[in-house]
A and B are shown apart, each in its own frame.
Chain A
Amino acid sequence: MAAASLSGLIAGRRRIGLLVLAGLALGCLLLAIVAIGQGAIAIAPGRVTEILWARLANDTPLLEGRDALVVLNIRLPRVLLGLLVGAGLAVSGALMQGLFRNPLADPGLVGVSAGAGLAAAATIVLGDRFLTGTLMKLPFAVLPFGAFCGGLISTLALYLIATRGGRTSVATMLLAGVALGALSGALTGLLAFVSDDKQLRDLTFWSLGSLGGASWSKLSAVAPIILPLLLTMPLLARGLNGLMLGEAEAYHLGIPVQRIKALAILLVALAVGASVASAGLIGFVGIVVPHLIRLSVGPDHRLLLPLSALGGAILLVAADIAARLIVAPAELPIGIVTAAIGAPFFLWLLLRRAGGSLDV
């Protein structure tokens, strides 16, 4: 695609894009409000706003009691975690697809998910044996931390494998990611094999993902890791647009290709690692949301990245509302719901387009 026609395309689509951006932002806000109001415990909307207002005004008498506990300590952190993780995963997906110039790339390809999954499995299965004393009392501080480190380590390994003489080959990285993913998968399988009945079930539920158990302390650990990715988006957008022309061309346009690659991979590794650590493995969001957005507003990353963030946040928060309402007072794993909500919509969008092309 020539540069001239690309910028023409971008200009034509910008207006639609800005409209979609405003619409999604509004939808996201409304959905978040609905999500704070809905749950197994029925709390009137008036009471919810009252509690939220009391928290802002630090009006302590109103903050006592079960309703306040549920709204402030269970639902609010849960919705915020959903927004953050959804946005983080979707932006990571968009970044990876742009970076690898491959519509099938997802955050899992840089090895974060597999590495984090392996580390989490190791914590669940071997934790009882090797963690003693005070560490044993914090099993759920150890698991997220382990998962996060696992994700970072495997991403770092991949980056080092793919970097020769200061140049990172995205093709090598893609292939090595597949290999490391397979290796991590096999080792996770080995851990599942040596695990006992209880650990196996824990492993299964963890790997389906859940926003349950969100808390302020969890949120305060995750937010500083995912937010930088969301805030750095605008800086990366132009570079990724340039990369669509090819690496050499981008380089000659004056885009610091290597720096952008390294930064994007680092941010994705951090954000996905934090997501996996706090909410388990939630597939689908990272690979499909950017496609949805691209199908509707085109490939300009200046729009694609923020819209993906909003789209991912909306999908995850909507899925979470469904997850905790459908079988209340029990709860469905969120991975099941994201796929159930997102996949039919995605297929419908594909079929509506003649030929159903997925080209970037």
Chain B
Amino acid sequence: MPGKPAPTIAVRTRKLGRRALSATIGLALLTGIGSGWPWFGPVQAQGSDKIVVAGGVITEVLYALGLRDRIVGVDSTSQFPPEALKDKPNIGYVRALSAEGVLSLKPSLIMLIDGAGPPDAVSLLIESGVRIARIADGLTPEGVATKIAAIGAAVGAAKPAAGLAAQTTARFGELAGLRAKLPAKKRVLFVLSLQSGRALVGGRNSSADAIITLAGGTNVASDIEGYKPMTDEAIIAAAPDLVLMMRNSSAHNTTPDELFALPSFSQTPAAAGKRLVHMDGLYLLGFGPRTPFAARDLMAAIYPEVTIPQLKTASTP
């Protein structure tokens, strides 16, 4: 989330029993002095680490760092690269983890994104003594870079991760340059779902809001907090120039004809040009190394009349 303090990795080692705990803390203090951190110094992972990941963006970064062989399990949000979910056991949805399920994969490191849970499954995992790395989420360019660095530090790949983070930051910089050249800002509405004509839209402090801003658009639903239903009148009043939706890989995608046949959407400027854009959900809202590209592609979709060049630092992600 924007405005949050810099993400930290708390890599903790904890054994059962209080004596063991105090001994561990003592040991951590000793080693901590050496590494310049008080208690929770980033523990360098061994090359043989077996990692279970809960959080799609972590999987994405680990694959980008070439560490796929160390991953022994991923959660159901790990949809990029697509082979991750095919090759690795699925530990379920990131907020509904099973402690025993995770441990059954015999991990030596468990990586959890912000919001992974439920909390008591997490506390059982902590109790198991397996190393845990918590990764803070971030919806800003700085947040993404910090996230990548934190993931790298947790798996002992700080150097390549720093490279990837710097590359991503450079791409965000380039994106900012593109953004500066845009004409008057266009108005964008992100629709998460359309249940019997009722639109669930992305308001402020949502990942949709963050990506629209990065792409140089104005989120017309910014009066709403998070993902909420929006009334028909409010949609008309918001007057979006473009409607953005996630592409649904398996099922039916809303067509422009269907969307703009709805009374609420038929009255918007977007209806005139039937401006409905579908983008892959994780690419669009994942906030990982691919985000600058996603923002560029979205920018190209919002401003078709402007030639938006590909990002130069684009060795394909």
Contact = CB atoms under 8 A, between A and B. Distances in A.
B119 A331 contact: no
Contacts of A198: 95, 115
Contacts of B100: 39-41, 70, 74-75, 324, 329
Given A40-B101, A197-B206, A329-B101, A69 B91 contact: no
Contact of A330 (B98, B123, B128, B227): B98
Given A196-B226, A329-B89, A330-B90, A73 B124 contact: yes
Max chain B C-beta neighbours (<10 A), residue from A195, A324, A329: A329
Contacts, number: 108
B166 interface: no
Interface in B87-137: 89-93, 95-106, 115, 117-121, 123-124, 127-129
Contacts of A214: 120
A200 B227 CA distance: 10
B102 to A, nearest CB: 6
A155 interface: no
A57 interface: no
A194 to B, nearest CB: 8
A333 interface: yes
Contacts of A212: 98-99, 118, 120-121
B120 A215 contact: yes
A40 B105 CA distance: 9
A202 interface: yes
Contact of B123 (A41, A213, A329): A213
B233 interface: no
A328 B124 contact: no
B96 A333 contact: yes
B84 to A, nearest CB: 15
Contacts of B205: 196
B96 A41 contact: no
Interface string A314-349: 000000000010011111010000000000000000
A251 interface: no
Interface string A38-57: 01111000000000000000
Contacts of A140: 118-120, 123
Interface in A177-223: 193, 195-198, 200-202, 205-206, 210, 212-215, 218
Contacts of A327: 90, 92
Given A139-B119, A197-B226, A213-B124, A330 B96 contact: yes
Contacts of B123: 140, 213, 215
Contacts of B92: 327, 329-331
A331 B96 contact: yes
Interface residues of B, number: 37
B73 interface: yes
Nearest to B205: A196
Given A196-B226, A205-B95, A215 B104 contact: no
Max chain A C-beta neighbours (<10 A), residue from B90, B106, B120, B206: B120
A328 B226 contact: no
B127 A69 contact: yes
Interface string B192-210: 0000000000000110000
B22 to A, nearest CB: 18
B32 to A, nearest CB: 21
A129 interface: no
A66 interface: yes
Contacts of B103: 40-41, 66, 69-70, 74
B251 interface: no
Interface of A: 39-42, 66, 69-70, 73-75, 139-140, 193, 195-198, 200-202, 205-206, 210, 212-215, 218, 324, 327-331, 333
Interface of B: 16, 73, 76, 89-93, 95-106, 115, 117-121, 123-124, 127-129, 205-206, 225-228
23 contacts: A39-B104, A40-B98, A41-B100, A66-B103, A69-B129, A73-B124, A74-B100, A74-B103, A74-B124, A193-B228, A197-B206, A200-B227, A202-B117, A213-B118, A215-B123, A329-B73, A329-B91, A329-B92, A329-B104, A329-B105, A330-B92, A330-B96, A330-B101
Given A197-B206, A210-B118, 15 more contacts: A39-B104, A41-B100, A41-B104, A69-B127, A69-B129, A197-B227, A198-B95, A210-B96, A212-B118, A212-B120, A324-B101, A328-B101, A329-B89, A331-B98, A333-B96
